[in-house]
Chain A
Amino acid sequence: QVQLVQSGAEVKKPGASVKISCQASGYTFTDYLMHWLRQAPGQGPEWMGMIHPDRGTTTYAQKFQGRVTMTRDTSTNTVYMDVTSLTSEDTAIYYCTREGVAVAGDYWGQGTLVTVSS
């Protein structure tokens, strides 16, 4: 069965960086785009960008351009997202989702809580 397993919770200080991983299993990793979203407390999800695991090509939301980098490792079926220059406004649960039909997120990781606090 399809599974997306994310790395554990992180606590970071303002100005630091965080790298989150998402390991996929149960399907052909290179056949499906992977998206990253985040959800701040009490808010709807926010789309951050996507990566094509086969080619490694990326598309980022303009809001995160220059601060987010998405990469992948096809030997371990893992995608990564690096977020730099963290502020308290980056405190959120971060999710990876597999792109299904019509660009909908058909499978989701369990989420990774990132807390930014001094």
Chain B
Amino acid sequence: DIQMTQSPSSLSASVGDRVTITCRASQDVNKYLNWYCQKPGQAPKLLIYASYSLQSGVPPRFRGSGFGTDFTLTISSLQPEDFGTYFCQQSYFTPYTFGQGTKLEIK
């Protein structure tokens, strides 16, 4: 199975900050890397698919990049509603595996 490693595991940032989360795959997953945000008691919500494509309705302050094994999610200007746990997922090889999550807190 492909292992997905996210960093950091948690971070705290202020409104307006630029935030970056990274995700590394244990083998090449081409561009098939998706990002989700999950808030307590809710299902994950898709933010970015295929490395850099913005899901409909997601604000453009979210940007994804990367190819192969190294990927990044950037929030250009953090907003109060952006708190939650962020997961990356590779959808290139079954089983489609997730990272362990990055918990983002707003200072």
Q: CA of A111 to CA of B41 in the docked complex: distance in angstroms?
A: 9
Contact of B97 among A47, A59, A105 (CB under 8 A): A47
- Check if B44 sits within 8 Å of A45, measured CB to CB: yes
Question: Could you tell me the dominant secondary structure of chain A's interface residues?
Answer: mixed
B46–A100 touching, CB < 8 Å = yes
Interface residues of B, dominant DSSP: loop
* Cβ B55 vs Cβ A106 within 8 A: yes
| B: number of interface residues (CB 8 Å) | 23
Taking a contact as CB atoms under 8 Å apart, the answer to whether A62 and B95 are in contact is: yes
- Give A residues with C-beta under 8 Å from B: 35, 43-47, 59, 61-63, 95, 100-106, 108-111
21 A-B pairs within 8 Å (CB atoms) are namely A43-B100, A45-B98, A46-B98, A47-B98, A61-B95, A95-B44, A100-B46, A100-B55, A102-B31, A102-B34, A102-B50, A103-B32, A103-B91, A104-B34, A104-B89, A105-B44, A105-B46, A106-B55, A108-B44, A108-B45, A109-B43
